[in-house]
């Protein structure tokens, strides 16, 4: 089985476990193949945790779930130096925390205080953690999938802009349709009454092979120019329209350019092509820009969210052949 076939099989397995959320499943797979961290936002009960768990269960990997609370300490995430006795001598030994996994579910990440956020920042960006002045490398396959609830803000610590920028994509999870809701009832009932056979898990080597193939995906100068034009439209919106300028306070960082390029290549690879198109860029731009644009007070007052701002940008930025 080729890496592409294996990843398609992964998507199929996840879609069977999370009915009616094909878009979300595809984004999770993009994040996995792009070697980036993801922020999942949705109301309670919309299968955020189940989606991450379904991916972890389908891969030969170590899954770690961290429930973030206001009293969480950095050592609860990273691990700590503990004293032990050996041969009559007392020594310190580092005990790994739950961050030393392959697929990390950071549940309700915005409930963690600043000290914990800083520890997560190092893990997400540097792929290492520092305890007692010593650095410890994280596994080669490492992805943080963080969740947060958009309506419950009491007792939370909003993610700083620097940390939000470390997320490759911000995925919004909505309600399933009627037919999917009916299928969910049947699925949960069958899971309780039947025990399914254990399917063979996808190896980490397969994921790394897929990533190598994605690196070979070509991107034309026109596509790369379109990516940069979209990015610059968030930074200098007045060049496009007065309305757009009134909606944006701060545009996206260069990380957005890199993320948009990477995600469009992954998207093209998933569609079976060895080159990217403008449509690939447009397919992933909302998830890449959503958490990176800082809307103006005017936009907030008019209740215009970042999704609407991105839609306006897509209408205003032309494709240069």
Residues near 4 by beta carbon (within 8 Å), at least 6 away in sequence: 210, 213, 269, 272
Report the C-alpha dihedral over residues 4, 10, 11, 17, rounded to 10 degrees: 170
| Nearest Cα residue to 259 out of 229, 300, 233, 292 | 292
pTM (2 decimals)? 0.91
Residue 304 has pLDDT above 60, yes or no: yes
User: Quick one: pLDDT at residue 189?
Assistant: 73
Question: Distance between CA 100 and CA 6 in Å, rounded?
Answer: 25
Average pLDDT of the segment spanning 201-214: 95
Question: Distance between CA 181 and CA 46 in Å, rounded?
Answer: 11
Q: What is the pLDDT of residues 236-292, one digit of tens each?
A: 999 999 999 999 999 999 999 999 999 999 999 999 999 999 999 999 999 999 999
Q: Which range, of 142-146, 149-153, 162-166, 302-306, averages the lowest pLDDT?
A: 149-153
Transcribe 47-88 into DSSP letters.
SHHHHHHHHHHHBSS-EEEEE--TT--HHHHHEEEEEEEETT
Quick one: tokens of 78? 């990273």
User: Quick one: pLDDT at residue 114?
Assistant: 84
- Helix H segments across the chain? 3-17, 22-34, 48-58, 74-78, 114-126, 161-164, 178-193, 204-215, 221-235, 242-245, 254-270, 278-289, 297-301, 306-316
Q: What is the mean pLDDT of the chain?
A: 90
Quick one: tokens of 136? 């410890």
Q: What is the pLDDT of residues 87-128, one digit of tens each?
A: 778 888 889 999 999 999 999 998 888 888 888 888 998 999
Domains of the chain, first to last: 3-71+99-173 (3.40.50.300), 217-316 (1.10.8.80)
Instruction: Find the length of the chain.
Output: 321
User: Quick one: pLDDT at residue 300?
Assistant: 93
Confidence band, pLDDT 50/70/90 cuts, at residue 213:
very high
Residue 194 has pLDDT above 80, yes or no: no
């Amino acid at each position: 089985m080729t890496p592409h076939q294996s990843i398609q099989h992964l998507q199929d397995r996840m879609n069977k476990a999370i009915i009616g959320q094909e878009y979300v499943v595809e984004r999770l797979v993009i994040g996995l193949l792009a070697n980036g961290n993801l922020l999942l936002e949705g109301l309670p009960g919309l299968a955020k945790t189940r989606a991450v768990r379904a991916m972890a269960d389908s891969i030969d990997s170590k899954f770690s779930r961290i429930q973030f609370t206001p009293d969480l300490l950095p050592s609860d995430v990273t691990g700590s130096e503990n004293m032990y006795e050996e041969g009559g001598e007392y020594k310190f030994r580092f005990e790994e925390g739950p961050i030393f996994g392959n697929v990390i579910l950071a549940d309700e990440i915005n409930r963690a205080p600043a000290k914990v956020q800083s520890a997560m920042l190092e893990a997400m960006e540097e792929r290492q953690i520092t305890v007692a002045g010593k650095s410890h490398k994280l596994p080669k396959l490492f992805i943080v999938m963080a969740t947060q609830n958009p309506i419950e803000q009491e007792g939370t610590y909003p993610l700083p802009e620097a940390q939000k920028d470390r997320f490759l994509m911000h995925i919004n999870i909505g309600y399933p349709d009627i037919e999917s809701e009916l299928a969910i009832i049947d699925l949960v009932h069958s899971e309780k009454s039947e025990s399914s056979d254990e399917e063979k898990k996808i190896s980490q080597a397969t994921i790394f092979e897929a990533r190598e193939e994605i690196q070979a995906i070509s991107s034309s100068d026109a596509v790369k120019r379109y990516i940069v034009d979209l990015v610059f439209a968030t930074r200098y919106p007045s060049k496009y329209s007065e309305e757009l300028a009134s909606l944006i306070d701060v545009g996206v960082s260069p990380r957005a350019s890199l993320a948009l390029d990477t995600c469009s290549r992954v998207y093209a690879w998933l569609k079976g092509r060895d080159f990217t198109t403008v449509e690939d860029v447009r397919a992933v731009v909302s998830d890449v820009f959503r958490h990176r644009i800082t809307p103006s007070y005017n936009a907030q007052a008019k209740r215009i969210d970042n999704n609407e701002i991105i839609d306006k940008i897509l209408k205003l930025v032309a494709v240069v052949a």
